[in-house]
Chain A
Amino acid sequence: DVKVTQSSRYLVKRTGEKVFLECVQDMDHENMFWYRQDPGLGLRLIYFSYDVKMKEKGDIPEGYSVSREKKERFSLILESASTNQTSMYLCASVSASDTQYFGPGTRLTVL
């Protein structure tokens, strides 16, 4: 069974804080993705990575950065959190057969 874990289920931060969201997968997948999920907007891709130290911008990368130092770990960084970044953040790891395995999500609230 593929396991994708995220560092926190719920997180509350203040405007201007630096926020780290971590995602870890245990299946040696090369491709990993970060999405945010908002009501009525579906899943929007922030960044993705198809190899260690590789990263590609998704559809809404502004205000975010990522880090992939190890294959199993893909981190999403909010350099200076803002209230419009309050959202559910979902990480996904992709198998060779293209199936996306999602983590449980982190509900981030920025006050």
Chain B
Amino acid sequence: GENVEQHPSTLSVQEGDSAVIKCTYSDSASNYFPWYKQELGKRPQLIIDIRSNVGEKKDQRIAVTLNKTAKHFSLHITETQPEDSAVYFCAARAMNRDDKIIFGKGTRLHILP
């Protein structure tokens, strides 16, 4: 089955700097890679996702890159702001639609003033 590793577990960056969170996956059949953000006391919410037919996707200050050969994908947040402080989860899902989504263990991002 799929296994998703996420690093780092905790990340502190100065406000305005960039943050990068990295994930690796084990199942080469995985074709869908979402990222979820969970603010303190709230439910996780999808912020961006990427499918295996593209290598990069951007949405304003957030971007995700995918390297299928190396089986890793990354979340990039530029010009970080205080509201970016949260726990971020990466996930991967294989081609069969009945397959479950496997989440990484999460990264707690702290934006320092």
Contact = CB atoms under 8 A, between A and B. Distances in A.
Contacts of A58: 100
Contacts, number: 50
A74 to B, nearest CB: 14
Interface stretch (A11-19, A75-83, A99-107): A99-107
Contacts of A90: 43-44
Interface residues of B, number: 22
Judged by DSSP, the binding face of A is strand
A40 B44 contact: no
Contacts of A99: 34, 46, 49
Interface of B: 6, 9, 32, 34, 36, 42-46, 49, 89, 93, 97-98, 100-106
Which 5 residue pairs across A and B have the least CB separation, nearest first? A42-B105, A102-B43, A43-B103, A42-B106, A102-B44
Interface of A: 33, 35, 40-45, 48, 50, 56, 58, 90, 94, 98-100, 102-105
25 contacts: A40-B105, A41-B105, A42-B6, A42-B89, A42-B103, A42-B106, A44-B103, A45-B100, A56-B100, A90-B43, A98-B34, A98-B49, A98-B93, A99-B46, A99-B49, A100-B34, A100-B36, A100-B44, A100-B46, A100-B101, A102-B43, A102-B44, A104-B42, A104-B43, A105-B43
